[in-house]
């Protein structure tokens, strides 16, 4: 029973017979994302809603927060009540104290120009006094380890730091219902533990939406549910986890184990004595960030993982390795030959954490053929054949519009673009975020099948153990093998 009978505890969230279909911009109608969803959460409950990617998890979160269909048009049927308020007659700003939503993609939620202003913005909306705002901002920033970054702008933050800002904001406002969409992703181990404690000890109601069952979830929730086929199904923990595992293909063999590589090439990229220093332009208080890499080697076919806390410099190192930034000191060699930034651009493919920064064209076909069309060794027919084959490998529809595709499909497209470039090395920056293990592993296997060396950045130990043959870590500004 998704909705307990009246007479129990007061309901914080009551969703009845909810169906939703996105507005179609083409002639063909879209298929419904949610069909007849019933979901009721009692005051103070902690619920985990699992769903493989592309099943309407984020849509449901946005509907509950009052943002959909107002900003993401579509046809909504059924009713949603948050803390007794009917969302059909409630504006998002009226839900500030009732429902707080942390999006899967933190970048889309920033409105202010500094970390402290971001946290203060909703408190100003509530009309709180300056002292009270300052107290809440200070507490939240201290709790989430953001005091040193308080005047930084969001451009200067890492993915994990951005998530922490949004979680700090939730803590400062403390709404009655927290809707956390993949909020554990991007956070390193210690901040995941902190979020776990906050949920466990909090008095409010929490709905965590996730596409992976993380070790931190153990014994955290009192209700477990699965979103599949547009419906929410509640059940015992073991039952839900089993069904979820089947849906995610967790029983499938790891495609990286014993993978045969099709090319027999051997390249070795070595970085020696790299040093880079970065200052934050928005503040004079923070110390300049410094990263040094005494020695790093990656060879064709390697599977290396890179771990480190949020903001430790993983993305900074990646930018150096692919030649987007130049180091202050040190050198790169490929097969013993010294490499400059432009050579690195063409040898190391870098899949950014956020796929939207790497895909821009109107169709999947154009996105995949962009680089190939510029090559002098390929005829138009060859380009068409390669693009078609690649789309089939990554499960992409060539006529689809990337900007309207789901987040995981956009990740797959980003990987497909790089697959066609056939680089000797790839950096995958938190590829596993919002993807099931099996999908993330198959993407890695595809990128590696021509013999590429892979450097994977991840916070998920389980995933790292499925991929990495060796591991590097960044601690106190130094990257070393562990």
Partner 1 sequence: MTTNTFVAGSGFLYRMDPRAKIMAMLLICVLLFLAITLEGLYATVVLLILVGSVNTGLRHTGRTFKSILPMLLFMALFMPFNVRSGQSLVSIGSFTLITREGALQAARLGGRFIGITYACTLLFATTPMTDVMLALRWYRLPYKASLVVTLSFTYIPFIADSFTQISESHRLREGGELEKRRSVFKRLRDLLPTLTSALVVALRSIPYLAMSLEQRGFGRSEKRTSYHSLDSYRHGFTDFVISLTIPIVFWLTFRAR
* Catalytic (active-site) positions: 182
Considering the rule CB under 8 A, would residue 334 count as an interface residue with partner 1? no
Which helix (H) or strand (E) segment holds residue 331: the answer is strand 329-334
Report which DSSP code applies to 271. E
Pick 308 or 349: Cβ nearer partner 1: 349
Question: Tokens 């902690």 identify what position?
Answer: 46
Among 44, 78, 92, 451, binds partner 1 (CB under 8 A): 92
Minimal distance, residue 276 CB to partner 1, in Å: 16
- Closest to 32 measured CA to CA, from 48, 55, 7: 55
Give the nearer residue to partner 1 in terms of CB position, either 98 or 186: 98
For the bound state, the minimum distance from the C-beta of residue 280 to partner 1, rounded and expressed in Å, comes to 7
| Two structure tokens written together for 244 | 């979820």
Rg of the chain's alpha carbons, rounded to an integer?
Answer: 23
Backbone angles phi, psi at 205, to 5 degrees: -100, 135
* Residue 356 beta carbon to partner 1: minimum distance, rounded to whole angstroms: 7
Of 121 and 194, nearer to partner 1 (C-beta) is 121
Site string for partner 1, 388-427 (x = CB under 8 A): ---------------x-------------x---x------
Question: How many residues bind partner 1, per CB under 8 A?
Answer: 65
Query: What gap in Å lies between CA 186 and CA 194, rounded to an integer?
Result: 14
Q: In terms of CB distance, is 52 or 402 closer to partner 1?
A: 402
168 counts as binding partner 1 under rule CB under 8 A: no
CA distance 13 to 40: 5
Cα 397 to chain centroid distance, Å, stands at 22
**All residues at 6 or more sequence positions from 229 whose CB lies less than 8 Å from its CB, including other chains:** 35
Nearer to partner 1 among residue 210 and residue 368 (C-beta): 368
Q: How far apart are CA 219 and CA 436, in angstroms?
A: 21
Please give the Cα distance from 353 to 433 (Å, whole number).
8
Question: Does 263 participate in binding partner 1 (rule CB under 8 A)?
Answer: no
Identified binder of partner 1 from the candidate list 196, 206, 305, 358, rule CB under 8 A: 358
Sheet holding 470-475, edge to edge: 337-338, 329-334, 268-278, 289-299, 478-481, 470-475, 303-307, 453-457, 425-429, 348-351
Are residues 29 and 193 in contact, defined by beta-carbon separation less than 8 angstroms? no
Q: Count the residues in the chain.
A: 482
Q: Which stretch binds partner 1 (CB under 8 A): 281-289, 309-317, 437-445, 450-458?
A: 281-289
Decide: is 107 part of the binding site for partner 1 (CB under 8 A): yes
* Closest to partner 1 by CB, 25 or 93: 93
Among 85, 356, 398, 401, binds partner 1 (CB under 8 A): 356
Contact between 172 and partner 1 by CB under 8 A: the answer reads: no
Answer whether 30's CB lies under 8 Å from 60's CB.
Answer: no
Position 116 contacts partner 1 (CB under 8 A): yes
Interface ranges with partner 1 (CB under 8 A): 65, 67, 70-72, 91-96, 101, 107-114, 116-117, 120-130, 133-134, 137, 151, 153, 155, 280-284, 322, 324, 345-346, 349-350, 352, 356-358, 360-361, 370-371, 374-377, 403, 417, 421
């Amino acid at each position: 029973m998704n909705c307990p009978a009246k007479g129990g505890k007061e309901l914080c969230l009551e969703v009845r017979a909810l169906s939703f279909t996105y507005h179609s911009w083409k002639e063909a109608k879209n298929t419904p994302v949610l069909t007849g969803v019933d979901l009721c959460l009692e005051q103070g409950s902690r619920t985990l809603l699992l769903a493989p990617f592309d099943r309407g998890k984020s849509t449901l979160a946005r509907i509950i927060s009052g943002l959909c269909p107002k900003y993401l048009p579509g046809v909504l049927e059924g009713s949603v009540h948050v803390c007794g308020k009917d969302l059909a007659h409630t504006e998002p700003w009226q839900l500030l104290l009732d429902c707080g939503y942390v999006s899967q993609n933190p970048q889309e939620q920033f409105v202010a120009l500094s970390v402290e202003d971001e946290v203060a913005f909703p408190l100003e909306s509530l009309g709180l006094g300056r002292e009270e705002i300052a107290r809440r901002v200070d507490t939240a920033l201290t709790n989430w380890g953001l005091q040193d970054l308080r005047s930084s702008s969001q451009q200067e933050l890492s993915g994990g730091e951005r998530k922490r800002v949004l979680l700090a904001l939730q803590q400062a406002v403390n709404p009655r219902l927290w809707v956390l969409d993949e909020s554990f992703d991007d956070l390193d181990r210690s901040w995941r533990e902190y979020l776990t404690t906050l949920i466990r000890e909090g008095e409010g109601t929490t709905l965590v939406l996730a596409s992976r069952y993380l070790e931190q979830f153990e014994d955290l929730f009192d209700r477990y549910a699965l979103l599949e086929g547009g419906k929410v199904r509640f059940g015992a923990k073991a039952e839900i986890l089993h069904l979820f595992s089947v849906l995610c293909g967790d029983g499938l063999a790891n495609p990286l184990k014993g993978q045969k590589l099709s090319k027999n090439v051997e390249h070795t990229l070595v970085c020696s004595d790299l040093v880079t220093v970065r200052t934050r332009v928005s503040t004079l208080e923070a110390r300049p960030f410094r990263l040094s890499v005494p020695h790093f080697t990656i060879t064709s076919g390697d599977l290396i993982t890179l771990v480190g806390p949020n903001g430790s410099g993983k993305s900074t190192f990646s930018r150096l390795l692919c030649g987007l930034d130049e180091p202050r000191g040190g050198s790169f060699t490929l097969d013993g030959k010294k490499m400059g930034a432009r050579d690195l651009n063409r040898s190391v493919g870098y899949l950014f954490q956020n796929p939207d920064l790497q895909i821009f064209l109107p169709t999947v076909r154009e996105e995949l053929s962009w680089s190939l069309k510029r090559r002098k060794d390929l005829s138009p027919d060859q380009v068409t054949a390669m693009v078609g084959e690649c789309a089939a490998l990554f499960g992409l529809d060539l006529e689809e519009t990337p900007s309207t595709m789901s987040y995981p499909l956009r990740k797959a497209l980003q990987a497909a673009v790089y697959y066609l470039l056939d680089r000797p090395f790839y950096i995958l920056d938190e590829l596993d975020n919002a993807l099931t293990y099996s999908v993330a592993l198959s993407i890695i296997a595809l990128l590696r099948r021509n013999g590429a060396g892979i450097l994977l950045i991840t916070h998920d130990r389980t995933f790292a153990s499925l991929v990495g043959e060796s591991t590097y870590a960044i601690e106190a500004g130094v990257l070393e093998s562990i």
